[in-house]
Amino acid sequence: MSDEQTVREEITACYRYSAGLGLNELSSGNLSCRYEDGMLISPSGASEANIAPERIVRVSLDGDWEGDVKPSSEWRMHAEIYRQHERAQAVVHTHSDHCVALSSHNEPLPGFHYLVGSFGGDDVPCVPYSTFGTETLAHDAASALKDRNACLLGNHGMICRAGNLKAAVELAQRLEIMCRQYLLARQYGEPDRLTRAQWDEFFDRARKVSYGRYI
């Protein structure tokens, strides 16, 4: 396990990087890493301008935190994902443009492209809207990630889990790209979906090459 200061610096760097990609704007979105029996998470009101290692908050999975800086209001969602998914070591939540656009229709991202499979299945689910920071949202999001590594949050954004923070940010970026491409394709009519046979062939192939690290 990395020391706490290293993890704080990594969260800060990844927050700035994701903001530079346009995944988080103003004070939206949050990042965390599992740490010991809790987590380290970006603070409430975090932005590219004010994020810093000393402002990253150490929080227990029950919501007890240290210091004067409050954790992100979405700490429950991160904590529930860590509770339900032992392999999750990092969580990224964003309000990126095209994820929000698709989530506002409360629709899953369908399997229109084989790279949808990089999220673990033939679609990316969308959970119903719940007020931010609530136990309901936390439970719904964590449950949706049972057999996926990302999901859309209805009328809200997206969240994903991964084995490290860099991989989680990459998943968030990939989902934003896929939502953008799907919405673009839909301007010309509903795009075709891959068939069950095509998905079976994809997952068989993916386990043998580099895509296996996503699945």
Residues designated catalytic: 74
Provide the 3-class DSSP secondary structure of residue 179.
Answer: helix
Q: Which amino acid is located at 11 in the chain?
A: I
Compute the Cα dihedral for 28, 30, 138, 105 and give only its sign. positive
Sequence length of the chain is 215
Q: Which residues 6+ apart lie within 8 Å of 147 measured at CB?
A: 120, 121
Quote the longest CA-to-CA distance of the chain: 54
Question: CA 149, CA 88: separation in Å to the nearest integer?
Answer: 9
Phi/psi of residue 146, each to 5°? -60, -45
Distance CA(137)–CA(175), nearest Å, equals 20
CB atoms within 10 A of CB 112: 18
